[in-house]
Amino acid sequence: MTAVSTPAVPASEEEARPHKGGHLKPSYWPFVLPALLVVGAVILFPWVFTIWMSLNEWRVGSDTSFVGLANYIRLATDMRFLESLWHTILYTVLSVVAPLILGTAAALAFNTKLPFRGLLRGIFVMPMMATPVAIALVWTMMFHPQLGVLNYLLSLVGIPPQAWVFHPASVIPSLVLVETWQWTPLVMLIVLGGLAAIPQEPYESAQIDGANAWQKFRYITLPMISPFLMVAVIIRTIDALKSFDIIYAITQGGPGTASETINLYLYSVAFAYYDVGYGSAIAVVFFLLIILLSLVLLHLRQRAAWSSGDGK
């Protein structure tokens, strides 16, 4: 007798068949569902609740009343909000540009064969290890018009004392000075990673062609580290936009409202004036602005990667 061979069943069909008793194989949902519940509870629900609060007139201790888009319309005529928006943009731009320039220059310097290069790198990155509140307290003493060390150093070179954070015209640049001091090492580390990935062949070819140092940097180094620079810009932009602790610890948004960013204004509205509905509207608008800016930066990051040959 010849054995009758049964056709092989594909693995996908075998897995799809029910087991004895008519039950399907266990799926992956029991493992995914807890994570989805946590994400929904921690991220999704707070934002849905914030949007709901922004559509209501709600002060702490009083009943809520639905007002629709009235809180958002109010933002368009709120001069303090518009002023805080401008302060946020100015603070963010300066806090990105200054560390980017200084960090790139530091990376180029540390990429050379300096004596004690490892030790100097370790000292240079130390500001990133300090807590923001401790940094704010130290810089507050340094900014003091009479007792601060900064004005003393200026007096040594014949420059008159400055008001620093105690004058509306200089308060934001002074705060940017603190931000630059703390986060320039981060940019330096990112750019150093890009410099380490550059091959030496283009520099050897440029040396044979008689290119000088500036031409090597302009046509070889800068294009090749541009994706790393965009990463540094994205990280610094996000960090500067959400900056709160250093500004609040040094100036509390003062003098007056000269250094009040959106974060500080949101804090004042929600937790000082207890206008939770209006504060929620500010939070939603600020979140949408961050999303829009993030999309722009990611698009620029893709273009930088493509132009350098990394993207497809």
Q: What is the pLDDT of residues 262-301, one digit of tens each?
A: 999 999 998 888 999 999 999 999 999 888 888 888 887 7
Cβ atoms of residues 263 and 243 within 8 Å: yes
148 vs 163: CA distance, rounded Å:
10
pTM for the full predicted model: 0.83
Q: Where are the domains of the chain?
A: 78-307
Q: What is the pLDDT of residues 61-90, one digit of tens each?
A: 788 889 989 999 999 999 999 999 999 999
- CB half-sphere exposure, 248, CA atoms < 13 A: 13
196 vs 182: CA distance, rounded Å:
23
> Which backbone phi and psi does 250 adopt, to 5 degrees?
-90, -45
117 vs 191: CA distance, rounded Å:
16
Per CATH, the homologous superfamily of domain 78-307 is: MetI-like (1.10.3720.10)
Listed as own residue / partner, the contacts of 167-174 with beta carbons closer than 8 Å and 24 or more positions apart are: 167/255, 168/255, 168/256, 168/258, 171/251, 171/254, 171/255, 171/258, 171/259, 172/87, 172/90, 172/91, 172/94, 172/258, 172/259, 173/94, 174/143
pLDDT for the residue 29: 78
Residue 159 reports pLDDT greater than 70: yes
Give start and end residues of each alpha helix (H) in 143-170. Answer: 149-156
Give the type of residue at 18.
P
Residue 57 reports pLDDT greater than 70: yes
Token duo for residue 76: 């368009």
Separation in Å, CA 1 to CA 4, 8, 48, 126, 151: 9, 21, 72, 84, 106
The residue ranking higher by pLDDT, 200 or 101, is 101
Token duo for residue 174: 């002074």
How much of the chain exceeds pLDDT 90, in percent? 46
